[in-house]
A and B are shown apart, each in its own frame.
Chain A
Amino acid sequence: MKIGVVVSEGPYTHQAADTAYHFVKAALDGGHEVPRVFFYHDGVNVSTRLSVPPQDERHIQNNWTNLAKEHDIDLVVCIAAAQRRGLLDENEANRQGKDANNIADGFRISGLGQLIEMGIQTDRLVTFGD
């Protein structure tokens, strides 16, 4: 079965990104497909490659990056939500005239249309938020 996932809260403040991660891993282990995870609201903050959590804590962004690589998951960060919160890829940073970008490997910035498309193309959609 194809399962789409939405993460709509930021890392560390809420458990949402953690629960979503464990859910996606279990879904893949169970033989399901997770073609895409869509990050919205403060969920876009998961994608920053600049977070440096203490060594004895999980690294949420790394976990997602690794999982996406291993299983070819499309991690999409909503452009509108990302721009508000200061998350830019190289392309967007140039377009907006900013001097830095901060999107981690494995994530890509795109539009809300990707969320709707995921809803259309998957059999189930599960949202993790607050």
Chain B
Amino acid sequence: MAYEVNGSTVEHDEEGYITNLADWTKELADVIAETEEIDMNEEHWAVVNFLREYYDEYQIAPAVRVLIKAIKKEMGPEKGNNKYMYELFPYGPAKQACKIAGLPKPTGCV
């Protein structure tokens, strides 16, 4: 299974998470988002960029409340809440946004 980006292919697993995290590009993010039926706008990108920066620094995805706090800081309280996150990523920010951002699949431990 693979995504096609500009003529080349990027492998992914059953659920659409990319196999090699190093394969991630912005173009790929758009392709993944498309299969998730998400039309990436500036607000989606703010979340995706935050996730990538956070992962880069700490080697884990942030807790959802950390993500929401950061978005609140950046985009104001009307957007820094759970409801808004789910409007952006209807199937949940932890799953969908992480997939688009090219982070590892959450192991679903809780």
**A95 in the interface (beta carbon within 8 A):** yes
Does the CB pair B107–A83 fall under 8 Å?
Answer: yes
The answer on a CB contact under 8 Å between A80 and B14 is no
B14 to chain A, nearest CB (A): 4
Which residues of chain A come closer than 8 Å to B109, judged between CB atoms? Answer: 78-80, 111-113
Give chain B's interface residue range (CB within 8 Å of chain A): under 10
Total chain A interface residues with beta-carbon distance under 8 A: 10
Q: List A contacts of B13 (CB < 8 A).
A: 96-97
Measured in the bound complex, the distance between the Cα atoms of B109 and A95 in whole Å is: 15
In the complex, chain B residues whose CB is within 8 Å of the CB of A79:
107-109
Cβ-defined contact, B110 with A80, below 8 A: no
Across the interface, which residues of A come within 8 angstroms of B14, CB to CB? 95-97
CB distance from A95 to the nearest CB of B (A): 6
Asked if B15 CB lies within 8 Å of chain A CBs, one says: yes
Residues of A within 8 A of B15 (CB): 95
Q: Write out the residue numbers on chain B whose beta carbons fall within 8 Å of the beta carbon of A97.
A: 13-14
On chain A, the residues within 8 Å of B107 by CB distance are 79-80, 83, 111
**0/1 interface trace, chain A 95-130, chain B, CB 8 Å (1 if under):** 111000000000000011100000000000000000
Expressed in whole angstroms, the Cα–Cα distance for A80 and B14 within the complex equals 17
The complex places the Cα of A113 from the Cα of B107 at a distance, in Å, of 12
* B75-110 CB contacts (< 8 Å) to partner A: 107-110
Which of chain A's residues has its CB closest to B107's CB? A80
Question: Which residues of A from 8 to 56 have beta carbons under 8 Å from B?
Answer: none
Contacts of A113 in B (CB 8 A): 109-110
Cβ < 8 Å to A, chain B residues 1-42: 13-15
Give complex CA distance A85, B14 in Å.
19
CB within 8 Å of B: which residues of A? 78-80, 83, 95-97, 111-113
Chain B residues within CB distance 8 Å of chain A: 13-15, 107-110
3 closest A-B pairs by beta carbon, nearest first, are: A111-B109, A113-B110, A97-B14
Listed by A's residue number, 11 A-B pairs whose Cβ atoms lie within 8 Å are A78-B109, A79-B107, A79-B108, A79-B109, A83-B107, A95-B14, A96-B13, A96-B14, A111-B109, A111-B110, A112-B110
